[in-house]
Amino acid sequence: MASFLNKTFAVVDLETTGTQHEDNNHIIQFGCAIIKNLKVVKTYSFMINPHCDIPLAVQNLTHIHNEDVKKEKDFTYYAPKIIKILRGTIFVAHNVNFDLPFLNYELVQHGFEALTNKAIDTVELAKIAFPTLPSYKLSDLTTQLEIKHINPHKADSDAYSTAILLIRIIHKLETLPQATLNTLSSLAHGLIRETSWIFSTIADDSRKNKRPLDKQYQQVRNIILQKQTILEANQPQTSNETFPLSNKTKREMFKGKIFYRASQVKLINRLNKFIQNPHERALLVEAPNGTGKTFSYLFAYAYRLYSNRKLIVATPTKILQNQIISQEIPQLLNVTKLDLKAEVVKSSSHYLDLDGFYQSLYQNTPNKLTLVMQMRILVWLTETKTGDLDELQLTSYQAPLFTQITHPGDARVGSNFADVDFWNLARHRQEEADILITNHAYLANHYNDSIWGQNPYLVIDEAHRFVDNVVSSRNDSFQFESLWGELNHLRNLLYYADDSVFNQYGNDVQFNFILEKLNPQILELIEIINQLQRLLTAKSEKAVNKNILANGNLLLSFQAQDLFMQNNKFKTKLAEFQRKLESIRQQTNQVLFKLYSETDNSGTEKDALLSELNTQIDLLDNYISQSYQLSDLLHKENILQQEGFIVTLTNPQDPLSANLSWIMLDASNELKQIYNRFSHICFVSATLTSENNFDFSVKRLALSDLRIQKYIGRSTFDLKKHLEVLAVTDMPELTNPFYEKTLSQILENDLSKKQHVLVLMTNLDKISEIYSTILNSPSLRDFEILAQGITGSNNRIIKRFTIAQKAIILGADSFWEGIDFHECSIDLVIVAKLPFESPDQPNVKLRQKLLYQQGINVFQNDTMPRAIIRFRQGMGRLIRNEKDNGQFLILDSRIWQKDYGKDFLKTIPVNTQKICLSELQSKLDNYDKR
C-alpha cells in the first residue's frame, strides 16, 4: 500500500535566536527536505542573517555563531525562495506549532502573506506509531530508529532526519490492522493542525484493499490485540537434574556461554550449601559489583524448584526486575538446560484495564494529552503480549486517564474483555511459574499472597535498601486540607453548581429528604476536621524538630508519646470523624443510586454528574480507609512507639492548614512477619558490611533471632585496572561560599574528555545553584545537563542520561544508591560531600532521637554505618562489571582532616591518590591514556 505517492511533503526545520518569535527573535537557518513518492528527492539549507546577536545558549546548542551569519543575506532575500519551495506542499515539522507560526511571523513581518499549507506534526505521529520508545526528541528518535543524523540541531540535517522519520512512520502505520486504523482515524481529529489527515488517508486506502486480519491478532469489539498464549496448569515437575557439585562440571556447563570465574563458582557453592541445610534460615552475602551475584543465586536455587516450590526474588527497582527477566533468566536456562518458567510480579495498577480503556474511547472529547495517549495505546495493543503499561516507558502515570484505565486488581468474569484480561492472564502465568521476580515494596505489602506458593525460597537482592523500602511502603498521611476541599466540592455538586443535584432534582421529595440531611452533616464534618487540626497544632511546643521548607511549609516532628499518648481528645474526635464521614458517604451513595434509577433524558449533563459523584465516593472511601489506618495505629501502643509523626502546616500561622504524616522508625516487627512466610532467605548486596562486619545490617534487617550465616565474596576481576580513586586535599571549607564556586569551575573546565559524569551531592538547594551556574557554560555545550528536582523526574533523568552521548547528572538521595545505569557506562563519579544524612530531616531526627533514648551511640552505630554504606554504593555506580572503567573523585577534604575520614578510606578497594586542584585536570584528561 502506498497512500501518499502523489503527494509532496516539505519537511522543514528552523534554527532561531529564541523560542518566542514575538520577543524580537529571528530565523538563523532554514532547512528543508522535499519528499516525493515517499522518497527524499531534494534538500535546501539557507544561513540567514538575523541582524542581532545569537544568545550563547543557542550558539552552544546549534554551533551557529555570530560570525557564521554576519555576512549572509537576511530573511527578506530568502523569503521568496522559501515561499516558492513550499508552494503546493504539505508542511511537516518536528513540533510544527513552533516552526510554522515562527516562519509565518517572519513572512508577515517582512511584507509577505502567511503560508496556508496543510501542516503535519511528526512528534505526535512518532508517539503514536512507536509507542514504546523512551524519548521523542528528534536526536533520540534518530538514534533509536537508526536514522542517519549527521549534525543534530542544524536545520538541514534535522530536516532530512525528520523526513526519513516521516517515511518510517507512514510505513509503520500502513501495517496496522484495519480496525485499529479506523479507531485511530476517528480519534485523530483532535491532533495538531492537519496531522489527522495522515490517519484518515491511510485508513481509507487500507479499507479499499480489504486486508484480512493477520493470524497473530485477535479482535474484541473494535480493539485489536496480540493473541495470548494460555498456559495449561502445570503438573508437579520432576527432574533428573541435580546440582553439579563438581567445579569441573560447572566449567563444562559454562563453556562458550559465560565466562568461568572462580570467585563466582565459590559463591554458587556456598549458596548451595546454605540451601541444602534445613537448619539454616538466613544467609547474608556481600558480593562486589561484577561478581555475577544474580546468576549465582539463580543457579544455586534453580535445582531445588522441581517440587512446586518457588523461588521469589525481590529487587528494589523495576529496572532490575526487567534485567533479571530479560537477561539473567535466559542465561540461566541456556547454561543449565532446566525447564523453568519465570514471571515478574507487580501490582495490578501496572496493567491496562481493557474494559476501562474501551469505555474511555467513547466518552467526552479528551484533552490533547489524553487523546495522544489513547492512540499510542491502540497501536501498542497490537504489539504487547502482557498489557504491562511499563512497556510504554512513561516517566509519570499522573494523567487523569490512568485512573480509569489502570487495572483495579479484581478477577474479571463476564465483562467484554474477561477472556483477554491482562491482569487475569498475568496472575495465571505467575501461578504456573517457578521463579517470581518482584520488588521490595510489593513483597512487603503482599507477603501473605497465595501467589508465592507453599514454603517458598526468598532472595532479597540489593538488601541494603530493603528496610527503607519496607518502611516507605508503610508510611502514609492524612491530608485534612484536601479532604476539606473535596467536601466543599461535594457540596457544590449537590447544591450549588448550575447542574447540581438540587438544581436538577430539587422538586423530588426523596431527593429533597436526603439533601436536607446531608448539607448540615458535611458542615459538621468540616468543623470536626478543624478541631482535629487544632488538637495537632496545640502540641507544637513538644515537637522534637521544627523545619521551614523552601515553599514556606512548616514541619513539626513528633514522637508518638508527645503527640498522642495523653491526647485522648484526638482519639475520641477521630472516632466521631469516622462515624460522620461514613454517614456522609452512605447518603451520597443513596443520591447516586437514585440518580442511576432516574429515567429522564438529561443525557450528557447527568452522565458528567454521575461520573463526578462516583469520583467523590471513591475519594471518601480512601479517606475512610486512611482514618482507620491511623486509628489502628493509635490504639496499638507497642506499634505506636515505633512510629514518628510529622504535622505539616501549609501556612505556619494557621492551625487549619495542618496535615498529618506518619513514618515507621523501627521496622523490626514488620520484617519478622515477612521472614516467617519464606524459607532459606538470602540477603545479597555489594554493600552489607560496615568496617568489614555485618553488625549494622544484622540489626537493621532484624535478623538477630534467626540462624544467620555470613559470606563475603571477592571481586572476579582486578579492580586496580578498572578504578582510579582521587581525593582532593585543598578544596575550600564546606561552609565557604567558594566551595560551590570551585565545584562549578571543576565541572566547567575539567570534563572535556568525559562522556557520562555523575555528581553526587547531599543538598537539593545546592544542586539548583550549581545547575544555574553551569547550564549555559560554552565549555559544556556538548553535555546535556540534568539536575534532580529541576529537569524532570528521576526516571526521566535516567532515560536522558542513558540516551545522551554526553551528559552530567547533579543528583542527591537515591542517585547515591537507588539508581542503576545498565545501558551506559559512567566515566566519572564526583563525590561533592561525604554522604551524611541531614539531621534536620524529620525522619532522621525522629529515628536518632529514638536511638538516643535507647542508650545507643547515634553517630557510631547509625550515622557512620549509613554514610559508609551510601559512600560505597556511590562508588558502585561506577564499576558495574569487568567492562567498566572510571574515576571516583572525592572533593570533601574531611576525608583527610577528620578522624572518621580513615573509616571511609578503608572501604575503598584500591589506593586513594591525594591530589591538589592544580593537578586535577591533567589526572582526568589522561586517565584513558593510562
What letter would DSSP give residue 316? S
Of 37, 46, 150, 31, the C-alpha closest to 94 is 31
Degrees (nearest 5) of the Cα angle 323, 326, 331? 100
Degrees (nearest 5) of the Cα angle 166, 170, 172? 115
Instruction: Show the cell assigned to 653.
Output: 500561622
pLDDT, one tens digit per residue, over 82-98 is 999 999 999 999 999 99
d(CA 608, CA 927): 64
d(CA 822, CA 534): 50
HSE (CB half, 13 Å, CA atoms) of 234? 19
- Using DSSP bridges, classify how beta strands 784-787 and 658-664 pair: parallel, antiparallel or unpaired: unpaired
What letter would DSSP give residue 356? H
Of 794, 730, 755, the C-alpha closest to 878 is 755
Chain position carrying cell 576525608: 895
Instruction: Show the cell assigned to 333.
Output: 536456562
What residues of the chain score a pLDDT lower than 70?
A: 1-2, 149-155, 230-240, 364-366, 566-567, 599-607, 818-823, 929-930
Instruction: Show the cell assigned to 721.
Output: 585496572
Q: Please enumerate in sequence order all residues whose Cβ is within 8 A of that of 522, keeping only pairs 6 or more positions apart, or say none.
A: 487, 490, 491, 584
Chain position carrying cell 493473541: 227
Instruction: Show the cell assigned to 301.
Output: 536455587
Spatial contact of 188 and 196, defined as CB atoms under 8 Å apart: yes
Q: What is the chain's alpha carbon radius of gyration, rounded to the nearest angstrom? A: 31
- Integer CA distances (angstroms), 519 to 290, 486, 574, 588, 621, in order: 64, 14, 20, 11, 19
HSE (CB half, 13 Å, CA atoms) of 293? 28
DSSP for 281-332 reads -EEEEE--TTS-HHHHHHHHHHTT-SSS--EEEEESSHHHHHHIIIIIHHHH
Instruction: Show the cell assigned to 629.
Output: 489506618
- Integer CA distances (angstroms), 53 to 155, 178, 459, in order: 18, 52, 61
Other beta carbons less than 10 A from residue 794's beta carbon: 18
Of 416, 474, 408, 389, the C-alpha closest to 440 is 474
DSSP H/E element including 223: strand 223-226
Residues in the chain: 930
Spatial contact of 484 and 893, defined as CB atoms under 8 Å apart: no
Q: Please enumerate in sequence order all residues whose Cβ is within 8 A of that of 283, keeping only pairs 6 or more positions apart, or say none.
A: 270, 271, 274, 680, 681, 682, 683, 708, 709, 710, 711
d(CA 1, CA 4): 9
- Integer CA distances (angstroms), 337 to 9, 302, 329, 333, 436, in order: 54, 11, 11, 5, 19
Other beta carbons less than 10 A from residue 483's beta carbon: 22
d(CA 108, CA 125): 29
d(CA 165, CA 171): 10
Spatial contact of 727 and 890, defined as CB atoms under 8 Å apart: yes
What letter would DSSP give residue 351? B
Quote the crossing angle between the two packed helices 155-174 and 122-129, to the nearest 10°: 40
Sheet holding 8-16, edge to edge: 39-47, 27-36, 8-16, 90-93, 119-121
d(CA 865, CA 171): 57
Instruction: Show the cell assigned to 78.
Output: 530568502
Spatial contact of 54 and 153, defined as CB atoms under 8 Å apart: no
DSSP H/E element including 582: helix 568-597
User: What pLDDT score does 164 carry?
Assistant: 93
d(CA 584, CA 617): 9
d(CA 181, CA 163): 22
Positions of E strands within 81-184: 90-93, 119-121
Instruction: Show the cell assigned to 663.
Output: 513514618
d(CA 692, CA 695): 9
Position 92, amino acid = V
Q: Please enumerate in sequence order all residues whose Cβ is within 8 A of that of 928, keeping only pairs 6 or more positions apart, or say none.
A: 753
Spatial contact of 846 and 837, defined as CB atoms under 8 Å apart: no
d(CA 762, CA 573): 41
d(CA 294, CA 500): 59
Q: Name the 3-class secondary structure at 658.
A: strand
Sequence-ordered alpha helix ranges (H) in 433-562: 440-445, 466-474, 480-491, 501-505, 509-537, 560
Q: Name the 3-class secondary structure at 785.
A: strand
DSSP H/E element including 156: helix 155-174
Q: Name the 3-class secondary structure at 416.
A: coil
pTM: 0.85
d(CA 521, CA 498): 22
Long-range contacts at 79-84 (CB < 8 A, ≥ 24 apart) = 79/106, 79/107, 79/110, 79/112, 80/112, 81/46, 82/30, 82/32, 82/46, 82/107, 83/107, 83/112, 83/115
Phi and psi, residue 578, nearest 5°:
-65, -45
User: What pLDDT score does 49 carry?
Assistant: 87
Spatial contact of 758 and 831, defined as CB atoms under 8 Å apart: no
Q: Which residues of 727-760 are buried (b: 16+ CB within 10 A; e: fewer)?
A: bbeebbeeeeeebbebbbebbeebbeebbbbbbb
- Integer CA distances (angstroms), 693 to 666, 687, 697, 865, in order: 22, 11, 9, 10
Q: Name the 3-class secondary structure at 705.
A: coil
Q: Which residues of 371-403 are buried (b: 16+ CB within 10 A; e: fewer)?
A: bbbbbbbbbbbbebebbbbbbbebbeeeeebbe
